[in-house]
Structure 1
Amino acid sequence: MSEVSIDMFRIAAIKNTLSTPRAMAVFLLCIAFSFLISTLTAPLMTWVIVLSGCAVVVRLAGLQPSYNLPTSRTVNLLAILAVFALTWFGFSIGLLDSMINLLTVACALKVMLVDEKRDFHLLICASLFLIGCGFISSLSVFAWFGYTALVALLLCSTAIYHGAMLSIKTSITFVAVLILQSLPIALLLFLLLPQLPPLWQMPTSKSTETGLSDTVTPGDIASLATSSELAFSATFEDTAKVPVAADRYWRALTLEHFDGKTWSVSAKRKQAENQLAVMDKPTPLMVAANRYADATISYQLIVEPTQQPWLFTLAPSLPDNTLNSISVKSLFDYTLRASRPVSSKKAFYFRYLPTASISNGIGNFEKQLNLQLSTNGNVKTREWAQLLAAQYSNERAIAQAVMREFSNKGFRYTLSPNAMPTDPIDSFLFEERAGFCAHYAGAMVYALRAAGVPARMVTGYQGGSELSDNVLQIRQYDAHAWVEVLIEDKWERYDPTSMVAPSRLTYGLETALEEFGESREVSILGEFGNTALFTTLQTWFQQLDYSWSKWVLGFDNAAQTNMLEDIVGALTPDKLRIVYLTAIGIVVVVLTLYFLPNRNKPRLSPSHRILFNAIALIEKQTGKRRENKSLVTYQNDIAPCLQLEAASAFKEICSRFEKIHYTAQSGYKNTQSGYASKQSENKREVQLMKKHLLLLRKSLRR
């Protein structure tokens, strides 16, 4: 047998497999489940994904008459093994991910046996729950389009399954109309019903997945540089007040403890912050709020999920909790914390104080805390720092001397320096002289402390690409570390990276790396990734995702309240009651208009519609009503009033209608192939009826 014949045989086999509506419905359900699993690769374990894929393959094969579905005993054995595996691995992946894996395994096992109506309905409902789980981890506009398409596919599958007497096209049209009818109701409920908080605590994630951590080793920030994931977007009210690139320091954490390898938030700092909070002592930012009230720059951040409470802001910035749906507090080190971890995209509002300084918030405590120094190892650095302290008379001069050292001693900026396991500061300063921002910041803080100058490492982001005149997008590769030095009771910013790679601050990371012959990542798109077309498409998609985040995901309680106040004025309990009752009333009216008129409306087949249209044309032309006459009698009555061509066309329409609805079915076997043959012939007859209806119209016009 030739290859062409084999291919034709396979195509015919596929068509025969999907010949019945229920087989097509199961096929669409399997396709939807496959795509759904492909979107849940993050929470699902590998063996669960493999099991789901095998289940889909087994069920699709079972659609063919020559294949049998697995027995219930086989599926039950798989279920027992899966329960043991989930119990074994469940503790390591967290409760939420365990539940998602359990639901996926249950769906996969049910897919292999889906045949009865109950099984089909269970799978549809479980798939909708999995789509909801997908929204937990991804709320982008692209995820919304994808999951909406999956919901539509599931609805089409359900409509086809229950519409055995209707064509697939009719079922799909029904679902499309249903979705279009639901959109205004969904929009109304979204705008007017209260925005509910999350129902559970989201699982925490690693820093390399969600951004900065409160502990930093030099390699951590370098690993973030390979990620193009969005960290947050910043929207400024006044385009003219957007900071220039070199001043875009998005401050997040102050790291004041160093154990010889890792910088971290000091436990003493946390204890002091808690004690001051209990004493209800105002933070320096709260004090500065009144002093600099007339010189602020308002901006909004749309923060990607980090599962952490800390926020990234221009320093110093005041939180505007009148607009924030999650309360934000300031700490004495001028960092900001949300009242709960950011578990989904969230909008925050701030006021930047460009003329304010970062002062010493806790007096001598901060000075002593940031002079602590590990004396284990790094002897060369401590000796060099003591020479600087003897040579220069004040803190600023010592800090500037360290900065000059980085500028004049041949240091190199790189994402992949050699490992420095022993005496990392000494190795970096006097041997390797190559590293990333955390290497430079950590070495400078250590040297300054050794010279008796209070200093600390600060982590956050630096830079940001312009999406529009007043919108900046900051990505994970913009993660950065710099130094703050306590001089005259104020913390002044020093960025040693700027001495080695000044273009890092003005043009971004990729430009800085290019100057040293490196690249952040290798694009799989090759040269196409640098073309104008690709850049335009990328910008368009980024703008679309930003608009979605700002207007849809950012529509929280505060935004809803502002919208309602613009419509009805100052909100009172009575007004809110009226708004909500009105919204529910509108939904009830719309649903009534959608469904009541169709309750008694007969559903006509395509052949009925063609016949009734033909009769209506003839009644209008001849003035003779059909009333209760049979088609044959009516043809005889109107024949003298019509031209031969028109009478012949109407006769063909009537005969083909009778063939579709009244011809004996004995010629077709009660099998899938017989059913498919009858359906195929009916379609051909309907097409011929349409053709003769056109001929009838033309002849009547003449």
Structure 2
Amino acid sequence: MSILTSRQFSQLAVLKSVFSQPQSVAVLLLCAAFSLILSTLTSPLMIWVLMLSGCAVVVRVAGLSTLHNLPTSRTVNLLAVLAVFALSWFGFSVGLLDSMINLLTVACALKIMLVKNKRDFHLLICTSLFLIGCGFISSLSVFAWIGYTAILALLLVATAIYHGAGVSIARSVRFVSILIVQAFPIALLLFLLLPQLPPLWQMPTSKSTETGLSDTVTPGDIASLASSSELAFSATFNSEEEVPDAPLRYWRAMTLEHFDGKTWSISNKRKQAEQQLASMGRSTPLSILAVKELSLVTDYELIVEPTQQRWLFALEPSSPNNLKNSITVSTLFDYTLRADTPISSKKAFYLRYFSNAPIINGIGNFEAQLNLQVSTNGNPEARAWGQALANQYSNTIEVVNAVMREFNQGGFRYTLSPNAMPVDPIDSFLFEQRAGFCAHYAGAMVYVLRAAGVPARMVTGYQGGSALSDNVLQVRQYDAHAWVEALIDSKWIRFDPTSMVAPSRLSFGLEHALEELGESRETTILSEFGNSAFFATLQGWFQQLDYSWSKWVLGFDNTAQTNMLEELLGALTPQKMRAVFLSALGLIGLILALYFLPKKQKVHLSPSYRILLKAIKLVETKTGVRRDNKTLSAYINQTSAYLPPHAARSFKKLCEIFERERYAKRDRSSDRHEVMKLQLKTLKQSLK
């Protein structure tokens, strides 16, 4: 027991010695900051890089004590060579950008085990700052900003402690806090007034996992999105009256017109036709619609979460307002929208919604023929049913209504977890299982309509959206949806077979529909807690905070800056912009001057000292003899001959009282001050 106690005492002594050394504390804080950065980069970092970095932090922290030795330079160099080979091997599979992030992390992890001097410490601080910038590439939310700001503050505190020998940790923290507060107004000015220039170079591409909808759909794909509550996008309207009713909130993303018997996808023929028509300069229906003078037009803004994809979601039909968009958005002949570059971070897009405009057949007979193709790879019963409907009904709308009626009255059931249908999925769904998600119903309906001679296609996107405020809707991944468009009288008419089995899905959302059917979108041990009123209120606050950050900070692009300046200054001219820029620089310079120019320190004098100075001033005026650096005794002896006897005695008495109070450290009472005041008064009267 005594041995164990002595060992614990020894470890406590070592720990105390570590925290008593400023450089050791600084390295410890640096390790903590690096660990926090690692926790935010789990997506781009490979598993072995995370493990290597974690081990490096543990080794460095253990090496702060004298009980453990750090690895030698030879060992670290060997690890560096092995890491370079591993990065070269795996780099092509993760993409150039993620490879660079992994390389930077490995370099930081290896260097952190060999911190010996200021140069090593400064290199790690700079590398950590670059890693913080890499984290902002994939996450720009307000919570990421708060977290990275805290990590930055931790790095600054570590630097202050490392260079502040003899300065307490509390004082270093206070110093860094003051610096951050001082930097805030400068950062705000730069953000508001610095010209919003485009990037100077193109960021290397990353093969990060794409999120949300895919351009290929099997019946279970959209159902898998139902378990995700991640935000897909937010839509902001000018007023509450402009927000569409819940059943009309169809956010179009893609049209899937090719079916191989199991999977729906964008047709290659469609892609080729779009490219040929674009090269010919032919206008799309949406571009023509955008220039027409229509009365019912609603302007709205989308804040889209990063998807690493080019397609956009928009109320159908909507056209882009590229005068405001920072990324140009193109329109296609199937009424879908495509951004010129993949959406790799939160972006704001401005759109115009034409609520009464129909979706017309944009390419004539091509679209009709493309959407009449029926795959003969399985599903014979569904084809036979379609042909029977064609023989039974004389016009297109009757065929469509017959299919919708069958879904409504045929005992079909809406569920997120249907049985697997690997063989003849449409036949199995229609004639055996009769239970499925929206993609099952939409895919089966399109297939049957084509077999009946009705041009039809599947459209994927989102349906619904929850109200964040009166004029803001938030659409999440579980709102992903699929529906049907049938070509009737040269117009594409929307039909949603899901409404036949779960009408509340359109009116109240997925979760309400599943609740009616006795199902749940996700079941976890925290589900009951998540449904509590407190958690719902807290979640609403966080959502509102994140939305405000996305709209007012991330959405502050060149267009928003120009609008702000025009509201303040009127029409912008080069002279006004030059004046704004120079004024911003001057204001920043003034702020820096107030912060760092030396200030005249105010001298705080005791009451007795102020009385003495007044007396000396009177004597100097009367006698013309300056005190300069003379002692009080010498000055009294020098001026006594020039003063009246009564005044000389008062001056001497006043100086003696001051010396006793100041140097003998006694008689410090208000009575002494009163005596000195009395002597000063007597001196004044005598000198008159």
User: Does 2:528 match 1:502?
Assistant: no
- The letter of the residue matching 1:200 is Q
**Between Structure 1 and Structure 2, whose CA radius of gyration is higher?**
2
Equivalent position of 1:87 in the other structure: 88
Structure 1 residue 228 displacement after superposition? 1.0
Is 1:58 the counterpart of 2:84? The answer is no
2:18: which partner in 1? 17
User: How far apart are the structure 2 equivalents of 1:232 and 1:646?
Assistant: 77
Give the Cα separation in 1 of the matches to 2:581 and 2:377: 66
- 1:454 matched residue in structure 2: 455
Please tell me whether the aligned partners of residues 44 and 208 of structure 2 are also in contact (alpha carbons under 8 angstroms): no
Residues 206 and 404 of structure 1: is their aligned pair in 2 closer, same or farther, counting only changes over 3 Å? farther
Code of the residue aligned with 1:642 in structure 2: it is: R
Percent of aligned positions with the same letter in both sequences? 68
Structure 1 residues 284-683: aligned runs within 5 Å? 284-597=285-598, 616=606, 619=609, 637=663, 639=665, 641-643=667-669
> Which piece of structure 1 moves more, 231-240 or 80-89?
80-89
Contact 2:317–2:335 under 8 Å retained in 1 = yes
Task: Check the 8 A contact 1:34/1:53 in 2, yes or no.
Answer: yes
* Cα pair distance change 1:636/1:304, threshold 3 Å: closer
In the TM superposition, residue 577 of structure 1 has moved relative to its aligned partner by 2.4
Counterpart in the other structure of 2:177: 176
Q: Residue 419 and residue 184 in structure 1: after superposition, are their counterparts in 2 closer, same or farther (change >3 A)?
A: same
Aligned to 1:218: 219
CA deviation after TM superposition for structure 1 residue 238, in Å: 1.9
Task: Indicate if the aligned counterparts of 2:95 and 2:207 stay in contact, CA closer than 8 A.
Answer: no
Aligned twin of 1:665: none
Alpha-carbon distance change, 16 to 364 in structure 1, aligned in 2, over 3 angstroms:
same
Q: Which sits farther off after the overlay, 509-518 or 169-178? A: 509-518
How far apart, CA to CA, are the structure 1 residues paired with 2:85 and 2:174? Answer: 44
- Structure 1 residues 516-539: Cα deviation after superposition (integer angstroms, max 9, x where no partner): 332111244242211111111000
Instruction: Provide the secondary structure at the position in 1 that maps to 2:20.
Output: coil
Cα deviation code 1:79-127 (max 9, x no counterpart): 1111111111111101110110010011001111112111100000000
Partner of 1:99: 100
Matches within 5 A, 1:172-321: 172-198=173-199, 199-201=201-203, 203=205, 209-321=210-322
> Cα gap change, 1:382/1:237 in structure 2, threshold over 3 Å: closer, same or farther?
same
TM-superposition CA deviations, 1:365-421 (whole Å, max 9, x none): 110111011112110000011111111111111111111111112212222222212
Distance in 2 between the 1:348 and 1:15 partners? 56
User: What is the alpha-carbon distance in structure 2 between the residues aligned to residue 31 and residue 633 of structure 1?
Assistant: 56
Q: 1:478 to 1:70 in 2, by over 3 A?
A: same
Provide the C-alpha distance between the structure 2 equivalents of 1:628 and 1:527, rounded to a whole number of angstroms.
Answer: 84
Q: How far is the alpha carbon of 1:641 from its aligned partner? A: 3.9
**CA 1:403–1:204: 2 relative to 1, 3 Å:** farther
Match of 2:598, SS? helix
Q: Which moved more, 1:402-411 or 1:459-468?
A: 402-411
CA shift for structure 1 position 215 = 1.4
Unaligned runs of 5+ in 1: 603-608, 648-702
CA contact (8 A) 2:462 2:480 kept: yes
**Cα distance change, pair 621–260 in 1 and its aligned pair in 2 (3 A):** farther
Partner SS, residue 143 of structure 2: helix
Change (3 A) 1:636 1:329: closer
- How many residues are treated as equivalent by the alignment? 634
CA contact 1:314–1:352 (8 Å) conserved in 2:
yes
Q: Report the alpha carbon displacement of residue 128 of structure 1 after superposing the two structures with TM.
A: 0.1
**One-letter code aligned to 1:418:** N
Q: Which amino acid aligns with 1:57?
A: V
Q: Matches of 2:72 and 2:428 in 1, distance apart?
A: 65
SS of structure 2 residue aligned to 1:48:
helix
Secondary structure of 1:546's counterpart equals helix
> 2:158 aligns to what?
157
Cα 1:479–1:184 shift into 2, 3 Å:
same
Q: Distance in 2 between matches of 1:287 and 1:452?
A: 30
SS at 2:287's partner residue? helix
Contact 2:97 2:206 in 1 (8 A): no
Please list every run of 5 or more consecutive structure 2 residues that lacks an aligned counterpart in the other structure.
617-627, 633-657, 674-688
The answer to whether the 8 A contact 1:251-1:312 is kept is yes
- Matched residue type, 2:127: A
Letter in 2 for 1:487: I
CA displacement at 1:584 relative to structure 2: 2.3
The one-letter code sitting in structure 2 at the alignment partner of 1:444 is M
User: In structure 2, what residue type is equivalent to 1:123?
Assistant: L
Aligned residue in 2 for 1:664 = none
Opposite residue 553 of structure 1, the aligned amino acid is: L
Instruction: Say whether the 8 Å CA contact 1:205–1:306 is kept in structure 2.
Output: no
Q: TM-score, normalised by structure 2?
A: 0.87
Task: Give deviations 1:320-360, integer Å, cap 9, x for gaps.
Answer: 12211112221111111122221211111111111111111
Partner Cα separation in structure 2 for residue 438 and residue 447 of structure 1: 14
Partners of 2:322 and 2:295 in 1: how far apart? 18
Equivalent AA in structure 1 for residue 221 of structure 2 = D
The answer on whether the counterparts of 1:217 and 1:262 sit within 8 Å (CA) in structure 2 is yes
Contact kept, 8 Å, 1:156 with 1:172, in 2: the verdict is yes
Q: Which residue of 2 aligns with 1:68?
A: 69
Whether the 8 Å CA contact 1:141–1:544 is kept in 2: the answer is: yes
State the AA in 1 paired with 2:575. D
Q: Is the 8 A contact 1:258 1:264 kept in 2?
A: yes
Contact 2:250–2:461, Cα closer than 8 Å, also in 1 = yes
SS in 1 for 2:113: helix
Query: Aligned in 2, Cα 1:206/1:375: closer, same or farther, shift over 3 Å?
Result: farther
Q: C-alpha separation between the residues in 2 aligned to 1:524 and 1:8?
A: 43
Cα separation, 1, equivalents of 2:220 and 2:336: 23
Separation (CA, whole Å) in 2 of partners of 1:290 and 1:45: 49
Separation (CA, whole Å) in 1 of partners of 2:660 and 2:577: 64
Summarize the Cα distance change of 1:9–1:425 in structure 2 as closer, same or farther, 3 Å threshold.
Answer: same
Taking a change above 3 Å as real, the CA distance of residues 621 and 474 of structure 1, as seen in their structure-2 partners, is farther
Residues 617 and 543 from structure 1, CA distance in 2 versus in 1: closer, same or farther, beyond 3 angstroms?
A: farther
Question: How far does the alpha carbon of each residue in 1:603-651 deviate from its partner, in whole angstroms, 9 at most, with x for none?
Answer: xxxxxx9xx97x7476458879999999x9886635454149999xxxx
**Residue of structure 1 equivalent to 2:646:** none
Which residue identity lines up with residue 590 of structure 1 in the other structure?
A: I
Deviation, structure 1 residue 596? 2.4
